[in-house]
Homo-oligomer: A and B are copies of this chain.
Amino acid sequence: MSNATDEKLKVESVGERQIRAERVFNAPREKVYEAMTDPELIPKWWGRRQDTTTVSEMNVEVGGRWHFVCESTDGKHEFSGVFRELEPPERVVQTFEWDGMPGYISVDVAELEDLGDGRTRVISTSTFHFAEERDGMLSSGMETGMGETYDRLAELLAQS
């Protein structure tokens, strides 16, 4: 069942307004879900390798807000959103906004699929209001940043 090619992030555009990203983690679904929703664990993997991430707010309930600050030598970036759905251990729906583009907000659906062999496939689908917003996100270096943050998540899951 091992499939090394799954252990890289795959990103593709879907339709006019969506981005779909997929990656397999070598960890059970409960642990992946926990890493995604525990404020203590977020600083250990969220962001690029150069970032120091601080959780300034993270109210893990439907309607609850989150706010993360990422600092590195290239400056400070803030990210925030609202949890719309939380269905442990299989689904998280949240909004996503970067402080550099206030008011440009995607809805990100993460689906965690139990592969039955101790591994978990995470499928993340981001939906934007307009095609230009999706295209802007794809050209922003999002794939590199998300690849790094998912690599860091894989490393954290391997440790525990």
Contacts and interface: CB of A to CB of B under 8 A. Distances in A.
A28 interface: no
A130 B130 contact: no
B103 A83 contact: yes
Contacts of A95: 103, 105
B103 A129 contact: no
Interface in A20-79: 63, 65
A110 interface: no
A94 B84 CA distance: 21
A107 interface: yes
A127 B127 contact: no
Interface residues on A, range: 10 to 19
Contact of A63 (B81, B82, B103): B103
The main secondary structure of chain A at its interface with chain B is strand
A63 to B, nearest CB: 4
Which 10 pairs across A and B sit closest by C-beta, in order of nearness? A82-B103, A84-B103, A63-B102, A95-B103, A82-B102, A107-B129, A127-B129, A105-B105, A129-B129, A95-B105
Interface in A89-122: 94-95, 102-107
Nearest to A81: B103
A33 to B, nearest CB: 19
21 contacts: A63-B102, A63-B103, A65-B102, A81-B103, A82-B102, A82-B103, A83-B103, A84-B103, A84-B104, A94-B103, A95-B103, A95-B105, A103-B107, A105-B105, A106-B129, A107-B129, A107-B130, A127-B129, A127-B130, A128-B129, A129-B129
